[in-house]
Amino acid sequence: MQRKSVIVTGGASGIGLASVERCLEEGASVVIADLEESEGASHAAALDGKHAGRCLFKACDVTDTAQVGRLFAETVEELGGVDAVFNNAGIGGIAPSDEVGDEEFLRIIDINLNGVFRVARAALRVMYRQGSGSLVNCASILGVFGQSQAAAYTAAKGGVVNMTRSLAIEAAPKGVRVNAIGPGYIDTPLLEALDDDMIQGLISLHPIGRLGRPEEVANGFLFLASDEASFVTGTTLMVDGGFTAGKS
């Protein structure tokens, strides 16, 4: 990733922050894109000092088309282009479907699916002009399989998986690759509200016998973003400890 410019949405915590750190370690310049009220600015300041001025923060709400457009315009202006994007911003959502109101359902869809499209669209516009680039969308194991009480989330992530295929077909003739990554249950702040019995239940779903670590998903993103994946497009790389291996 030497001398490459990378944007990571949802980059202020969890998988996103781990991906920022891995890209910096591999020589990239990285934009942490996250909400204004996130810890993105403080993380960027600390990482910028550690990595020779190669990390910066841009406030961006992926539900706002204007903010997404500004993120890419400013990144191009300051870094000269966008070589890779981790389209990672998202939220969870667990509730019985008969109790989910329109507002909550649409909020999950707007961030986890529409937001992914807004970022993808802006990324492709830049990458098409360059004639190169790698876009990686964050899907999920629940983009491939259903789960009780997660109708909105699974609908959004399933949409991300199939959107990735369609975008990859469109983008390939223009020199741009589009892939997705499908994390299993990862040990991030999103799981902090769960009790120990629930955590142990999640662990039991993974044949490898533990939850994933954020840096393990980051390594998957790093591969898909890099030139080492030059013949890989339109796929979803599962980083799930074997969760999906025994399901069909």
**In terms of residue numbers, what domain contains 202?**
5-239
Residue 147's pLDDT is what? Answer: 87
Q: Is residue 246 part of a domain?
A: no
Tokens of 99: 């109790």
pLDDT of 191 over the 70 cut = yes
Chain center to CA of 80: 22
Q: Residue 102 maps to which CATH number?
A: 3.40.50.720
Q: Does residue 153 have an active-site annotation? A: yes
Over the stretch 151-165, which tens digit does the pLDDT of each residue have? 999 999 999 999 999
Give CA–CA dist 221/181, Å, rounded: 7
pLDDT at residue 248 in the model: 64
Alpha carbon distance 245, 248 (integer Å): 8
Q: Is the pLDDT of residue 193 over 90?
A: no
Averaged pLDDT of the chain:
95
Q: Would 248 be classed as within a structural domain?
A: no
| Residue at 199 is within a domain | yes
pLDDT beyond 70 at 223: yes
Which residues lie across from 236 on neighbouring strands?
A: 180
pLDDT (tens digit per residue) in 117-147: 999 999 999 999 999 999 999 999 999 999 8
**Total domain count, the chain:** 1
pLDDT at 89: 95
Q: Is the pLDDT reported for residue 169 higher than 90?
A: yes
Residue 195: per-residue pLDDT: 87
User: Model confidence over 23-48: pLDDT tens digits?
Assistant: 999 999 999 999 999 999 999 999 99
Indicate if the alpha-carbon torsion angle 172, 178, 7, 36 is positive or negative.
positive
Mean pLDDT of 7-35: 97
Confidence class for position 84, pLDDT limits 50, 70, 90: very high
Span 71-91, mean pLDDT? 97
In angstroms, the CA 56 to CA 7 distance is 10
- Asked whether residue 245 is assigned to any structural domain, the reply reads no
Mean per-residue pLDDT for 74-97? 95
pTM above 0.85, yes or no: yes
Catalytic residue among 57, 72, 86, 153: 153
Q: Is pLDDT of 189 > 80?
A: no
Query: Would residue 244 count as lying in a domain?
Result: no
